Every structure is written in structure tokens, then in C-alpha cells.
Structure 1
Amino acid sequence: MAMNGTVPPGTEAALVEWVNSFPLSDRVESLREMNDGRAIWEMLRTINKDSFVGELPSNKQSDYARQQNLLFIYGQLVSYLDGQDARYRDFSDYELKKIATGESSSSILKFLKLVLLVVISPPNHEIISKIPQLPSPTPLILQALFEEIDPARPPSENGDAPDTSDLDSGRESSKGSAFSSPTRRRDRELLLEEKLALVNAQLTRREAEVEDLKVDKEELSVAYLRLQDNYEAVKQSSAENEDRLKKLTSVHNEREQLSIRDLEAKISLQEETIGRQESQIAELQTNEAELQRRASKLSDVEEKFQKLQDEFHIQKVNLDEQTRRANAGDKYKQKVQATQGVERERDALRNQIDELRPRAQAYDEVRRENSKLKQENHEIGQTLSHSERSNNEFREMKQAYIAEIERFHRETKGLREALAQGQERIADLEDRSGGSEVHSSPMIVDGGLESELAETSKHEQQMQVARTALFWSRVLTIDRKSRIVELEKQNRQLTDDSDEKETTIKTIQRQLKNVQALSVDQDKLLQDKTQEITNLQSSLAEVRQGHPIEGTETFKRTREQLKIEQKKNVELEKMLSAAQKEVEAANDERTSSFDRHCLISELNIDLLQGALVDKPKLEIIEAVKKQSSMALMLLQSEHEALQLLHKGVQDENDRLKDDRKDAWYEAHEAVVAKGLADSDHAAHNQRLADLKDMIKKFSNDRSTESTAQISEALEMNIGVFARKIEESRERTLKQQQQIEKQEALIKDLETRLEQQKIVQDSMQSKEDAKEDAKFEETSPKEREYTQNLERELKLIASAYHDLAGRLQMNNVVLQRRAEAPKSWLGRQRKVMEGVGGLVR
């Protein structure tokens, strides 16, 4: 009925109609849609649910999955038909592959004939009774297929089949007459004897083949056990490789990626080797099943003579085979589950290692930030101590200014008394001049006009001197009053500024105490975190050594606490930066206002001291100018020397500033020191400029003073200037000493950093040397292990070729893949799990 691999349309339509008469999950439109085996399996389950049990191995739509389903169905059909003593057509793996790929409809038709043979062996009355009810010409085509399958036993509606024991005699009787002759009866007996002899010869030959097959079966079982031992050895070696991988990952932190890749490549090669070995085992199992099926066929011939004994033997063999398959499936499933569990644990350990690395880095950052905070607290404490010392100096100067102001009050009081005495003297002189004018006439009358003119000229000169003295005393009194008012205002302003600075210093001290308290709390938290880090490291070491994984909640809790501590550190840094800015601003404002007020107060004091001296006479103005110019030249030379010194100190400070940029913990202190030094030098320059202006004013205002008074004033001013110059020199020396201390501290820190770096480099080199030594120690073992694997693979290949040669000598067809396909191992595991489930 099938020509050139195709089926006539009428036959295909009739078979499709008959297949759709069964209760299927999906309706079938053509025979090619049945290549996955699902419809055939549902038909077999409908025909005989007790004999066809289990589920199909795969539900995927691939050629390999469909072929596996057809192999499973074919095995069930073979076992069923062998049990029913039915004759059927054998299917090769190539034909089943063609059915799975949908290349041949005739192969599917031949496969359906096995289903028809199941219907009539023994006859299924329910299925056969439904066939005449199908639309025409389906019953006729199915009847022709039944006759084609077994012409001697056509199906009937009542399910009775003719007896095949008298088949040959019936055919002979139909050809001849009803009553056979003796001659023909003898011929028939001779034919039967010949047939009996042929059967006996065939039976002896088959018995010899059965013995050979038993020997081959024993050899295959031995080879299977050897392969199983090799498989166990490979599994154990893979477990050892995984342990070695864990050790290598714990040792090689920096080379982790390369080592993991190499080990994964080795593991993939080992898995491919295992896959190839498992494929060989599966092929051997299929070959063994094929040999067993053929042995069962040969035993069917022997069953005709020893039926009871052979049935018992077959049942025993089938039971042993099923138990062996069940045990093998269970063992393989357990091994696969153990392998998967080890892989999951390995992945979990890798993830935990990746999570712990950023945590350790974060803890190091917290430690560094804590050290920075401690350094900043130390700097703030030094700044506060410096501000306290400056505040104390400011208070002492304030008390000195108050004493000077009181002294000025006393001197003004004395000047007022002197002014009152001068005014009384002037009044006396005016009275005397009036009296002389009254008594002049009698003196003129009495004689001596020249004497009277001389006395009058003397009185006029005395009056002129008294008027000038009175005028300058009044001017000085007015100037003193205005300056006293200004000094009182400055005193009040200084007191207000000092109060403000004291309040700011108190607030900064409170902030510093708060920051110190926070730093103490931060130290405690850091100690707790370091303790937790040590605990985590110890737990990680235990996990790497193979202990059960614990502490996942601890890791999560540590991560949350680390985030909280990082937020607190950010807030603390903000508070410290704000307090530092406030301290710097208060310090700058205090120093600038203090220097400004000092300059103003010193200038006022010097002017008042010069103003208190009596006015010189007009004759010595030139001498005073010369002495003032000489003093001015001296002061200018001193000023230029101080400027050069200031420039040198400023250049040195700039150089130190550039050098301090590379230092770690002394940057803030260096900047504060430079700011203070610059402010002192600027104040000193401003003070010198003010002194220069004061000298010019002094030379202009003292043009009428006496020589002695001018010399005394000049000596006093020169002493004051000498003291100020000495003070400026002492300040520069102190600044240089401070700069030298800072340089020494920076050099000390640099040497410590270099020593620490050298120690770290030495430790790193030692660790690298240890790791290289360990790697060199492990490499020969790995080479030896790979050589052992290659040797085992060669032995397995030679055993396989030996078995293949023996099986080909017995006309057994084998198929082998060159390489295990991708994801082959996963599919085989699923198949074995399914087989294990069916056997159980």
C-alpha cells in the first residue's frame, strides 16, 4: 500500500479517521503529526491501560525528544507483543529517527501496524466493535491492513480467531478432495519429519547462539561494571577538583579570575568527559537491551518445548533487569543531586566572597575617616588653645590700656591745675602792667624815659610769651579731651569685642566637646565593627574549610549597620567642617581687630606723649628738623631691614606651603599657621608705616620745642621703636621655630609612611612567593591527574572498540556520536530521572 515512502491518500485518511476515533487530547490531521508519539501512546493507553503504564520521557518539540518518545513506545510494544507470542516487524534506530523527523509517512504506517497488532493480540472486542461504525471506506481499509498483518487470523466482530495449529493441513485440504489418499498422507508425514529435523537443527543452532550471547552478556556486564567504576573515579576526582578550586580561590585573591577560569575550563572538560562516558554507558545499555530482546526471542523458540521453565526464567530475568535499572537510576539520580548541591554551595560561597570584599573596603574607609576625625579634633584643640592664649594676652593689654587711660586722666587733671595757675599768673601780669601804666607818669615826670621804655618792652615780651603759652595750652587741652573721648570709645569697643570673642570661644568649646564625645562614640562603634569583621572573617574561613554555611542574617545586619555608620560619619564630617570654619573666621576676625586696635592705641599713646611736652622756642627749629631727619633715616633703614626679613620669611613660608601640600594630616594646621604669620607680618608693616607718619607729624608739630625736650622725646621714641623691633624679631624667630617643628613633623611622617610602605611591599612579596610556591606544588598533581584521566579514557575507548567488534560480528548495529552535544548531560539526567520514576 505504501509506494516510494508515501501512503495513498485514501489509506492515510482512513487511518486518520480511525486514530481520531480514540479519546485523544489533540485531534490529528495527518500521519506526520503523529511523529512525536503522543497520539500513539494515548491510543495504547486506551487499548490496554494495565500493560502500557508511565509517561513519555519528554514533552519538547525536537527531533531528539521525539526519537526518545518513539524508543520508549517501541520498547513497551516489544515487551507486550513478546508476552503475547506475536510476530511483528523490527524497527531500527534509523527508521525511528526518520519517523521522528517526519521524513517518511510509510514508516509511521508501519509503526501503526504494530498498534493494530496490539488490538488483535489478544482481540480487543471494544475497539474492534467500533470499527464497522466508522464511515466508509475506513472499515474496509482497516480490514485489509489486518489481513496484511496476519492473513491467517483476520479479525471478526465477535473477536474469534481461527486456530493456527491446523493452518497447513487446512490449506492442503482446501486444495485437494475431502478424503486424502494414503500416499499423500505419507508424503505429508515425510514433510512433517523434514520440518521437525529442520526445527531441531535450528533449535540447536539457536541454543549455541544463546550460549554465545550469554557469554557476551557476561562480558558486557563486566565492562559495564568497569565503566561504572571509572565513572565513580571521575566523580570523585571532580569532587577533589572542586575542593582544590575552593582552596585556590581562598589563596589566590588577586589571581582569582584567571584561576577560576582555568578550573572552570577543566571542570567543563571533565563534564564533557563524563558526558561522553555516560553516552557510552547509555549506548551499551541500549545494546544490552537489544541483545536481551534477541535472547528473549530465541528463548521463545525454546518455550515451545519447555514453556513453564522458560516463562519462569524470563520472568526472573525481567525482574532482575528492572531492579538493576531501578537501582542504577536511583544511584545516578542521587549522584546528580549531590553534584548539583555541591555546585549550589560553590556558587553561594562565591557570592558571599564577592559581598564581603566591598564590606571590608567600606570598613577600611571608616577606619581612615575615623583617624582623620581624630586628627581634626586635635587640630581644633590646638586652635582653641591658641585662641585662649591670644584672648588672655588681649585681656592683659586691655588692663594695660585701662591703666594708661587712668594715667591720662591724672595728667589732664594736673594740666588743668597748671592751666589755672597760668591763667592766675597772666591775670597778675595784666594787673602789674596796668599798675605800671598808672605809675608811669610820675616816673616820667621824675625823669628816665629810657628806663620806662625798656620796662614796657619787657612787659610786652612777657605778655606775648604768656599769650602763646595760653593759646597752646588751650589747643592741647581740647586735643586731649577729644582723644580721651576716642580712647573711651575704643575701650568700650574692645570690651564688646572681647565679650563677643569669649562667647564665640565658649560656643566653639562646646562644639568641640560635642565633637569629642561623638568621636569617642565613633571609636566605640569602630571597635564593635572591627570585632564583627573578625567574627565574619572567622566564619568565612570556616565556610571555606567546608563547614556549613551560616551567618547570612549576620551579613545582612552588618551591611545595614555599615550604611547607618556611613551616614553618621558624613554628618560628623559636616559638623567638624562647620566648626572648623567658625574657628578660622573667629580667629581671623580676632587677630585683625586686635592688631588694628593695638596700632590705633599705640599711635594715640605716642601722640599724647609728644603733646604733653612743653612747646620749644623759635630759635632751635632747624636743629630739631635735623635731629628728626636723622631719626627718620635710622627708622627707614630699620624698616627696610625688617621688610627684607619679612620678604625672606614670606618666601620661606611659600616654599613650605608648597611642600606641605603633599602631607596628609598637617594640612589644616599648616594653613592656620601661615595665615597667622601673614597677618602678623601685615600688622608689622602697617605699624611701621604708622610710625613713619607719626614721626613726620612729630617733626612738624615739635618745631618750636626746646633742644633738651626734643632729645628726650627722640630718645623715648627710639627706645619704643627698638622694643617694637625686638618684639618683631622675636615673633619672626618663634615663627621660624614653629615652621622648623612642622617641617620635622612632616619629615617624620614621610619616613613613617615610607617605612610602612616598605613593610607592606615586603609582606606582599612574601605572600606572592607563598602563592607561587603553592601553585608550583599543585601543578605536578594536576598534570598527574590529567595523565590518569587520559589513560582511563584510552582504556575506555579500547574496551568500547572491542565490544563494538564483538557486537558487529553478531550483526548488532551500533550508532555513536563523535562528541557529546551541548546540554546533552542535562537531557540525559532528565531522561534518567524519568526512567527512575517509571521503574519505581
Structure 2
Amino acid sequence: MTDSNNPTAAALIRWANTSFEHLDSKVESLADLSDGLVLSRMLEEIDPEFAVQNLDTNTSSSKWVVKKQNLEAVYKKLQRYVRTHCVDDTVNNDALEAVIDFNAIAEHEDAGETTKFLKVFLVAAINGNNAPKFLQVITEGKLPDDVCMVIKEIISPPSNEEESRPETKGDALSLEAIRAENTALQKKNGDLNTRLEHLQFSYDELLEYGRTKDERIDELLKLQNEKPDDHIKYLRAQLLERDNLIATQEGQIEDDRIKIERQTRELRERPDPEQVQKLEDRAKELQIQNEDLFQKSKILDNFKKKLEKQNNVAQENTELRQQIDILNDNQRDFDKVHEENETLQATITQYRKQAASYEKQVVEMGSQKKLLQEEIRQRDARIQNLLEGKAHDEEFIQNLHEQMRTSSPKLASPPSPSAKVSHLTLEEELAQSSDSTPNHALEISRLQAENQLLKSQLGGTTATNLRIELDELDVVRKRLESNYRDLQEENILAQYQLSALMSRVEAEKLVTAETLQNKVGVMKMLTIDFYRDETIAVTRKLYIETLFELNQVKAKLTEVQTELSSRDRELLQAKADLSAIDQDELDALEDLKATNEIITSSLQNDLLVLQNKFKTLMTDHEQQKSHLVDALIAKDALSKEAAELKANGGTGTTTVASQKTAEVSTRFKVSGNSAQNSGPVTQESEDAELARELAALGKAPAGLHDTFASPPIAAITTARLESIPSSRASSISSATSPLASSSGLFISPPPPATQFEKQEKIILALQIRLKAAEEGGADAQKAAKDAIIKNLSRENALISSAWYDLTGRLQSNHLVLQRRQDAPKSWLNKQRQMVNTIPRR
């Protein structure tokens, strides 16, 4: 129902715009009053003491709860003003005590409920302490006559029809009179309900009032200069007024109950049994309602008695309201942040799409650039070949001209006019001009041009293979350079040690030492004073340990990078799954294809890294093979020489000793390189190897005992014994203790046959160890390759399963790409078609 169809609403709006001059804006319709702000300004103009403060101005269409709270606050203040200033018998209590549905006003902008609210404002303004101001607006003719008539009907109290109607118990009432009385009783019942609600509001106000008075009492107790008796008397007077009001309402309830019983008895005497039964039922219902009201009045008395014990209720309510306000503010902030997050998420998604398209464009432009560069290079090469061919042809033509000038000088002079001209055919001219001798220069130039053309054509196709081979050769070259550098360092260290030893040898023994050096060769030897050499050995040891730790850290870094790349792929796949949930099918498939391409490229990069590692391991394996072959060849040569020495009866012992020393030194180098390549060796195997080598070297010839003051074995064992713990060093020294003596650290040598047999055993054991190391390295490489292949196949299986899982979920959402007659029916063919089909734009 609109405002134009309701004259009462239009009259009230006209009265509000005319009477209240300090409104922020004119009221156009009843919907402008649904937020409670205009009504608050009207109440403030009626009496500023009862103005409502701190109203929430956030009155959007979705926040109708805030509107309801504002309306309730204004209604409470208005009711307090009515009870304070509008206590008179001439007041229209029906208009003041009307039940107002605030939910209908706040949520649906109900015109009827808003009209009731304006009627309460009208009655309160006309009968309040500022009544002359509002009566002057009506009496001076500022309003039209129809508006004045409507206002008069609203403010005039209803006539008491029950008192004017004579009560005649003996007369028979008609059915219409009974229905009228029933309607009056229902109205009275509604009035009683309204009064009960008013009592409830009064109770709430009493709670708030009691809290304020308690605070005031506390302040008065603190301020002892003032008199507290007047304030207490005032509070007692107000409490007495409340008690009188409650007693009056209870008496009215009792009067109504007695009246209802009297009317019920009258209804029982009527002849219509059905109507009487209905009226009796209605009377019982009313009696029950009255009893409920009586019980509520008793409960109200109890509430009044418990008022002193519930002083904290109002404070708790205030705190709860503050918490509600804070939660509402937090909810608004959360809504704003959520909207901003959604906007940012959409922006990030758009940026990702644009970045992917830009990357694709960059890749395409890079590929096009490479193709254009390749075409330009081929064109330049073709132009160069053509220029070379042109130069060669010009040179060849010049040579032909010179040959023609030199071979047939007669042709240079022009023919005489008297000569007879013979007309020859083209075949005869070619036969005459053909030379019987072959032209080798022309053939060579043609072959050179063809060779150049073939080189230019094959250069582009084999460039990639040549680059790969060049990278492999660079790796091999770097490894050979590192090995050469290690050998050079060892050679320089040996030369330095030998020169230090020679500088400390006496003059008469220098010739003997040089002779031994020439016989034996370059040896690592140390004297008692080896402090300078000890520093170099410790530095070398620290370098090897640091290099080993660096290799371990690199291996761990490689593992972490591999795991990180796998985690990145999983994260990318999870993001693709998450984005595919909220997207259309075509966009989801495009994102999935792009994600799979990125994952495939990542796996290809990992595969290339693993291939490079495999090539490096193969290079190391080839180097170890070459070392093993060299060791076997040296072993065969040493076996032949040992056999010759056995046949000659032990001659050339010094040469065998020198060769044995060189072999042991070479074996130490090979073992050191293999230890750097293959990793750490167990302590037991290293101790056993060192003990066997010490035992083998301890059987040196007796001719060397008197030459040196310190044994040659110290040059090889000192650096390694320094890096071994004391327990292991003691066990090794105990294993080699039979070799030491007090005079020269050597015992008399055993027979040559026993010595060579032991040497053969040592060489055989070393050969078995080398073969086992080679087989173990191959097995380890094979196991590593199998593990890599297994991991790659598992990752591929996971990717494929995730792909089919995602496509299955998309298919379960009833999203179909195309519907054709030749569409596949099986699940596998559908998956293949979804993967391979290009979406139509």
C-alpha cells in the first residue's frame, strides 16, 4: 500500500514536515523513516533530554538488523517520554500502546507499522511538555483541513462504549452483540498483551535506571560533602511510583478477569449450545491467558525483588553490545579483505595467463629469430659460394682467352675479305672448336665448388652433434688437465724432497746417493728433519679432505635440487588442479596442457642433467679402465723380469728393487685417484692394504742398508701414517714391526725365491682387487641407472594418473567438449580424445 493510497500516512508525513523544522531533509515517503535516524531527530526536537545518541548510520539494504536496533532505541526513549509527560485521561492510550513490529519496518518497510509509529509520535508531541508549539501548527491553519481532521481523529481518546451501554442481565442479547463483545474481549486481550510488553520494556528501563543510580550512589559515597538523604528519598519515591503502577495494572487485570467471568456466565445462559460452547472455549483460553498474565506479574514482582542482586546485568549487556559492534566491524573488515583478495586473485590469474602468453611469444620469437639467422647464414654462404664460383669462372674464362691467344695466333687476325666463307653447321663448329686434351683446371674448380656446397649444407645439420662432442671433449680435457696437475704437483714435491735430502748429505756420501738415484729413479725420501715437508703433507691432506667434503656437499645439493624440482612440479600440478575447479572446461584443459608442458620440460631438463652425470661416470670408468690396463701391462712385464731373474739366479736385484719401488709409487697414485673418484674407503681395508705394502717394501735389498741413515720406506709411509689415528697407527706398526731393527731398520733379507713368490702373491691380490673394484663400479653404475629409470617411470606414472584423475573429475561434472556421431564410447578413447583434441574457438 503506497503513501498516496493511505490518507492517514500522507497526513502524518505532512504534519511531520510542517511541525519539525530542524530535520536534515524532508520526508518524502514512509520508507525514509525505516532507518530510525529521522525519528531520532524528531524526538530530539520534541525534548532534547530524551534524544538518542550514537545511532549506527550504516543503513544499507542488507543491514536491516541495524535499522531494527535504531528503531527499538528510539521507541524506548519515546515510551519513557510518554510515561513522564503524557499521563492524562484525555490521551489516546490505544495509539500510545499500539504494538509495533520493528522487523516489518526495518526489513520490509511496512507502511502500516510505520504509520503506528508516527501516531505515537503525534500523540506524544500534542500531549507533552512542548505541546503549545505543535498545537499552534494545527490551530493557525498551516495544515489543510483534511490533515487536521485526520490528526483530530488520532489524538482524540476513544469513547467508553461499555460504560454507556446499559447493563441488563435479564435481557437476551442477540448473536451480533455477543460477537461484538467477543471482539471487544479480544481487543482487551491484545491491550493486555501490549501492556505486558510495556511492562517488560519498563523492567528493562528499570534495570538500566537501577545501574545508573547505583553508579550515582557510589559517586555520592565518595563525595561525602553532599547530602545523600535527598537522593535516596528521590529513589524511594520513584520506586514507590513503580510499585503503584504495578499495583494499578494488577488491579486492572483482576477487574478484567472478573468482567470476563461475568460475561462467560452470561454466555452460558444463551440458547445456542454450539455458540455457547465456542464462547466457553474462548473464555477458557482468555482465562488461561489472564492466569499467564497474572503469573507474569508475579514474575515481575520477583524480578523487582532480585533487582538489587542483578546490578551487573546491565553492564554485561553493555559489554555484549560492544562485542557485537566489534564483531560487526570485524565482519565488515573481513568482507572488504575477502573482496580485495578475490580481486587480487583474479588479477594474479590474469597476469599468469598474460605471462604464459608472453613467454610463449618470446619462445616463438626466439625460434623464429634462430630460423631467420640460420636462413641468413645459409644465404650468406650461398652468396659466398656464388661469388667464389663467379670469380673462378672469370678466372677460368681468362685462362681460356689466354690459351686461345697462345694456341691459335692466326685466329687473332681478322679474316681477309677475299677469303671464301664456308657456312658450317653448329655440330661442325662444335667439333672443330672441341679440344682433344681434357681441361683439368675446369674439373678441379667444379669439384671444389661442389665440395664447398656440401660443406655448407652439412654444417647446419651436424652443428648440434659437433657441439655435443665438443662439450664431451672439454669434460675429458678438464679431467686430464686435473690429473696432469696432480701428477705435476707430486713430481715437484718429490724433486723438492730429493733436493732437500741431497743438501743434507755429506760430501763423501753424495756420489753414492746420486748413483743410487740414477739406479733406482725418482723416490720420495725424507730425513729426520722433515718439518718443511710435513707442512706440505698436512696441506695436501687438508686439501683432499676439503675436496671430499665439497663433493659430498655438491651431491647433497644435487639431491636437494632434485627434490625441490619434484616439489615444484607437484605444487604446479596442485595449483593447476585447484584452478581447474573454478574454471570452464576449455580453460581448464588449456591450463592443464600448459602445466603438463612445463612439467615435461622440467623432466627433460632433469633427464639432461642425469645424462651428463652418466657421461661423466662413463668417462671416469674409461679412465679407471685405462689405469687398470696399464697396471696389468706393468704386472706382466714385472712377471717376465722376475722369471728372467729366477733363471739368472738372482742377478740384478737392485734393478728389481727400483722397479718395485716405482710400481708401488704408481700404485699409490692410482689408489689415490680412485679414492678421490669413488669416495671413502673403509678403515679395515685401508689398514690391511697399508700393512701389505709396508711388508712388501720392507723386503728391500741389503745393499741399501749402509747407504742411507734413514730407510727409503719412510718417504712413502710418513705422510699417510701422520693422518691415521694412534690406535690404527699402532696396529700397523705392530704388523710391520719385524721389519725394524736398531741398526738400520732392516733385517737380513730372505732368499730371492721366497721374495718373488710373495711379490707374485701381492700382485695377484692387487689384480683381484682391481677386478672386483671394476665389477663393483659397474654394478653400482647399473644400480644407479636402474634407480634413476625407476624414479622417472614412477614420476611419469604419477603424472599420468593425476592427469586422468583430473579429466575424470571434469567429466563427472557433466562438462562435454563436443557431441558428434563419431564420438568415442569407451573410457580410454574418451580420455585420448580429450587429451589430443584441439578446442574450437
Q: TM-score, normalised by structure 2?
A: 0.31
Greater Rg over alpha carbons, structure = 1
The structure with the largest helix share of the pair is 1
Flag the structure with more relative contact order, 1 or 2, with Cα contacts below 8 A and sequence separation at least 6: 1
